[in-house]
Structure formats: C-alpha cells, structure tokens
Amino acid sequence: MACIEARGLRKAYGATVALDGVDLRVEEGRILGLIGPNGAGKTTALNAILGLTPYQGELRVLGRDPWNERDRLMRDVSFIADVAVLPRWIRVSQALDYVGGVHPRFDRAKAEGFLGKTSIRWESKVRELSKGMVTQLHLALVMAIDARLLVLDEPTLGLDILFRKQFYDSLLNDYYDGNRTIVVATHQVDEIEHVLTDLVFIDRGRIVFNRSMEEVESRYLEVLVDPDKLAAARALKPIHERQGFGRSILLYEAADRQQVAALGEVHAPSISDLFVAVVGNQTGHTGGVSR
C-alpha cells in the first residue's frame, strides 16, 4: 500500500511555481530522503503532505486527502520542523506531561529514554536550554509518538555532529520498525545515506531523480581515473566529471563494472556527488547540498 501518492501535484505562490506537476509514490515501511537546493520545493511538498497548504492535483496520504481530512490524518502522522517551536516558559517535565495529555499514542517512557542520552534536566525551562538542547527535546517528544508516518524537515539543524549521528542511529534502531514510513528532507545528505531505502532529488519544483538505494548502489559508479586512461574513460560517456586528489573522478550510470575498473579505482558515489552530477547536468548548478 502507498503511504504517499501524488499525481500532478502543483503549488504556486503568485508567479512563483513551487511544485510543478510532481508525481510521487512512497510505499509504506520505506525511508525516503528528499534532497534539493534551497527553494527547490522540499518544504512546500512536505507542507502539502501534512495538510498545511492547499494544492492542485491529486494527493493521498495514508489513504486520506491531507487538506480536507487533516484532523484524522494527524492522528497517524508526526512532524519535526526545521525550527523547534516550544514555549520558552515551559519546563521539560511539563512538556512531557502536556504531550502525554493531548496525544493518546505518546510513550512517555520512550521520550524519557531519548532524553536520558542528553544532558537536559527535567526541571529546566526551555528558555534555559541551548538551541541544540531545544532541538533534542523536540525530537524526543515527537519520536515518542507511535505514528505511521514521520516527516522530518532538517531535523538535526543546529546540533553538533555527535548528536546528529546519535539521532540517526536512534531513528534507525529505536524508532523504525519496518512498518513506519519516514520522509527526511535535509541538506546534510551524506549523514543519512546509511538510513535511507529510497532517494528523490527535487529541483525547481520538479522531481529529477527517484530511485531506491538498491538501484543507486547497483547502477552508479565513480572512478578515480589513472591519468594515462582519461581519454578512454571519457569515451565511455560519464554523466559527470570532477577533480579530486589531483586526478579526474568520473561518474557513470549503468556502465560495465569490469570495463570501468580497468580505468582506475572504483567506488560508490556519495549522495551529494550524485546530486551534483544529476542536478548540475540539468540546471547548470555546480553544487547545492552541503556535505
């Protein structure tokens, strides 16, 4: 069953088209990475999925129309925005009490387990916490809700690299159970590579790449080409070429691995390198995601 199914999804703000005929299907139990440069349409797509903005086209989330059935939909969906908004006056213990009182699927013990891995104190008020701690508290509250769909928009913004790693490890080991669906939009793409089952690139309101991670791993190769074999490597028509370590690095799609291996050192491309190759070839970008 599809958790999310969009056909011809379109959203415009005046003359600015944020989503331009998006077709997308996300099966239940998948972890999708939604990657794109600033202004590509990621947040608009997430807002449509969450029923936060009207749209044109067809969209079903967990079998429901998110704009007209948002009340029912939110019983099965959790959302972590790029900016954690919590009342500055509230204490950590009170935040736990509140969420436990308003959401029937909140697991307080699980939230306390997440917070137990941090230095956050129960009696602290939100205004006394650092930006990173506020994000940690917000993540603990939302991830302790038993939801069928979890939507993450830059979930670890403002966190140091250690907690970002801990968060994604916890997401995979403590939250994901093979049945829940997770959609992650982030610029820190290489940090989520080991978590994803599916990968989508969006640029200027259109989906320009949509593959499972199994397809990515089997279909794309990067080669650190030996200098004397550069002409032969280019003759095999790579989709992208860049410089690194004083040598040329060529990226291939659906190339013969044995043939390519004769040209130099072969390895799998990172998501960010694949993004630059795919989106850069289509739009002239030379970058767009941070590593």
All structural domains of the chain with their residue ranges? 2-212, 215-283
Question: Is it the case that residue 224 has pLDDT exceeding 70?
Answer: yes
Q: Grade residue 288 by pLDDT with cuts at 50, 70 and 90.
A: very low
Task: Enumerate residues 6+ apart whose C-beta is below 8 A from 115.
Answer: 92, 136, 137, 140
Question: So what's the pLDDT on residue 286?
Answer: 41
How far apart CA 247 and CA 195 sit, in angstroms, is 31
Q: Given this structure, which CATH class describes domain 2-212? A: alpha beta
| Residues forming beta bridges with residue 206, ordered by sequence position | 203
Q: Grade residue 190 by pLDDT with cuts at 50, 70 and 90.
A: confident
How far apart CA 221 and CA 232 sit, in angstroms, is 16
The predicted model scores a pTM of: 0.88
Tell me which residue of 262, 256, 268 sits closest to 220, measured CA to CA: 268
How far apart CA 249 and CA 260 sit, in angstroms, is 12
Question: Is it the case that residue 291 has pLDDT exceeding 50?
Answer: no
Tell me which residue of 119, 46, 30 sits closest to 82, measured CA to CA: 46
State mean pLDDT over 137-164.
87
Q: Which of 5-9, 77-81, 270-274 has the lowest mean pLDDT?
A: 77-81
How far apart CA 129 and CA 139 sit, in angstroms, is 14
Rounded to the nearest 5°, which phi and psi values hold at 204?
50, 45
How far apart CA 252 and CA 247 sit, in angstroms, is 16
Question: So what's the pLDDT on residue 86?
Answer: 86
